Amino acid sequence: MTTTANQLFKDLVQKGRLSSTIAEVASLTAIDVAPVIEELSGLRDYHQLRMLESFQESRVSDYHLGVSTGYGYGDSARDTLDQVMAQALFAESALVREQFVSGTHAIAAALYGLLRPGDEVISATGLPYDTLREVIGIDQASGSLQDFGITYRQVDLKPDGSIDLPTLLEQVSPRTKLVMFQRSRGYSLRPSLSVAEIGQACQTLNQRHPHVLTFVDNCYGELVEKLEPTALGAHLIAGSLIKNLGGGLAPTGGYVAGKAELVEKAAGRLTAPGIGAHVGSSPGGRRLYFQGLFMAPQVVYEALAGAIFAARLFERLGFAVTPRYDEHRSDIIQAITIGTAEGVVAFCQGLQQACPVDGFVLPEPNAMPGYADPVIMAGGTFIQGATSELSADAPIREPYAVYFQGGLSQTFVRLGAVIAAQKLYDRALLP
Ligand SMILES: *Cc1c(COP(=O)(O)O)cnc(C)c1O
């Protein structure tokens, strides 16, 4: 029996923020999830030790934590941070930059860096994440890859959510330059792909079609499993620093990691050919990037433990959830199918009321750049839009699912989940 959890729910009842009905379900949930969360602590410890070793082997020092300006020539902190990240991600090389405005930007720099007119790119995991559709040119946009004569093909996942490797191998042509994989579910109800499955596909491609490069959109997946795709044959991965690897502290940025010559090409696209990774300063200083990376194993653990609680809570309340609380995870996202637009709005408004920043705000669905449907986003975060912090996003479209992720502390995620559940209860939207 987890007495601290029960105390939390009791306090919420006493303060009039939770009904005894929801508190009762939450208490039972806490008991169900305790062994699953206990097991997860082993993953956290494994990554924390590896992270410490990465820092020590790169000889991170106090003087790396200060600022640099202008070109940043000879900025050893920049190179050291790249080196720490490379080791943490089992990669030859990495490019960690605050000049990446988002994960989409880092992924786009990788794609534009590697692809040339006449090349073909294949997505091996169906339709890519919303913001990448304009990058590729699936959705019309000026300056897309398609605009530069780079064609696109897609191999859908099998109905069970696994990679359709035979079809993928068949679709590869001499023009195929790159095959991309999306590890996370993104805004869809498919399962996240395990690193082992992505690695298997990359290795098979490497053997059968050695001219093809493999790229993984690694967003939301970092440190959720023991290995990263780069450890199992993926040539290049990319992601955001306001998700897992920023540890809730990195104020902005993205990363690319993998084979050194490919990282260099992405760097040439971020800055300019020739100067690549060798310029770029950090006027605000790199302390939060180092510190966030060091904290990332703990913060990812807190997010996962919170997601496990939320999965069980909403399952107990009668909703379909994916993954289930005791299922394998390869990303930090918890999807909950609420089933109605009003329910999605209630969930997000409830979650918002549990946030330390903008807790008084009532979120509403809105058009968002890069997204086709209106999206409602909840999350009063210290870093704008950071999904390493507690947040929920939901495109207002069938099947009306919310995607819930992050949370700097497990207790805080539990608070958010129960208050969201309470909001559904208050509006008579529970099944
Ligand atoms: C978050 C995310 C991205 C990039 O999104 P940004 O908001 O630009 O950081 C790309 N792919 C997936 C699967 C994501 O989850």
Q: Is 123 in the pocket of ligand 1 (CB under 6 A)?
A: no
* Rounded CA separation 395/314 (Å): 19
Confidence at residue 218, expressed as pLDDT on a 0 to 100 scale: 98
Query: Is the pTM higher than 0.75?
Result: yes
Confidence at residue 410, expressed as pLDDT on a 0 to 100 scale: 95
Confidence at residue 368, expressed as pLDDT on a 0 to 100 scale: 84
Contact status, residue 346 vs residue 430, Cβ threshold 8 Å: no
Q: What is the pLDDT along the chain (431 residues), one digit of tens a residue?
A: 455 558 999 999 999 999 999 999 999 999 999 999 999 999 999 999 999 999 999 999 999 999 999 999 999 999 999 999 999 999 999 999 999 999 999 999 999 999 999 999 999 999 999 899 999 999 999 999 999 999 999 999 999 999 999 999 999 999 999 999 999 998 788 899 999 999 999 999 999 999 999 999 999 999 999 999 999 999 999 999 999 999 999 999 999 999 999 999 999 999 999 999 999 999 999 999 999 999 999 999 999 999 999 999 999 999 999 999 999 999 999 999 999 999 999 999 999 999 999 999 999 999 987 678 899 999 999 999 999 999 999 999 999 999 999 999 999 999 999 999 999 999 999 99
Domain layout of the chain by residue ranges: 2-49+293-426, 64-285
Domain 2-49+293-426: give its CATH superfamily.
Methioning gamme-lyase, C-terminal domain (3.90.1150.60)
3-state secondary structure 55-85: HHHCCCCHHHHCCCCCCCCCCHHHHHHHHHH
Distance 215 CA to ligand 1 centre (A): 14
Confidence at residue 1, expressed as pLDDT on a 0 to 100 scale: 44
**Most ligand 1 atoms within 8 A of CB, residue of 192, 240, 244 to mutate:** 240
For ligand 1, atom 6, which residue shows the shortest CA distance? 103
My answer on whether omega of the bond before 297 falls inside 30° of 0, hence cis, is no
Which fold would CATH assign to domain 64-285? Answer: Aspartate Aminotransferase; domain 2 (3.40.640)
Confidence at residue 72, expressed as pLDDT on a 0 to 100 scale: 97
Q: Is 188 in the pocket of ligand 1 (CB under 6 A)?
A: no
Listed in sequence order, the DSSP H helices in 209-339 are 260-270, 287-316
Q: Is 106 in the pocket of ligand 1 (CB under 6 A)?
A: no
Q: Is 217 in the pocket of ligand 1 (CB under 6 A)?
A: yes
3-class DSSP state of 359: coil
**Most ligand 1 atoms within 8 A of CB, residue of 123, 127, 190, 219 to mutate:** 219
Distance 240 CA to ligand 1 centre (A): 7
For ligand 1, atom 1, which residue shows the shortest CA distance? 219
Confidence at residue 254, expressed as pLDDT on a 0 to 100 scale: 98
Residue 62 CB-density burial (10 A; 0-12 exposed, 13-18 middle, 19+ buried): exposed
Atom of ligand 1 nearest to the CA of 105: 8
Q: Is 391 in the pocket of ligand 1 (CB under 6 A)?
A: no
Q: How many Cβ atoms sit within 10 Å of the Cβ of residue 59?
A: 11
Q: Is 186 in the pocket of ligand 1 (CB under 6 A)?
A: yes
Distance 133 CA to ligand 1 centre (A): 12
3-class DSSP state of 351: helix
What is the tens place of the pLDDT at every residue in 59-99? 999 999 999 999 999 999 999 999 999 999 999 999 999 99
Distance 217 CA to ligand 1 centre (A): 8
Confidence at residue 6, expressed as pLDDT on a 0 to 100 scale: 85
Q: Is 219 in the pocket of ligand 1 (CB under 6 A)?
A: yes
Contact status, residue 396 vs residue 385, Cβ threshold 8 Å: no
The owner of tokens 């009762």 is 24
Distance 6 CA to ligand 1 centre (A): 35
What is the tens place of the pLDDT at every residue in 370-394? 678 899 999 999 999 999 999 999 9
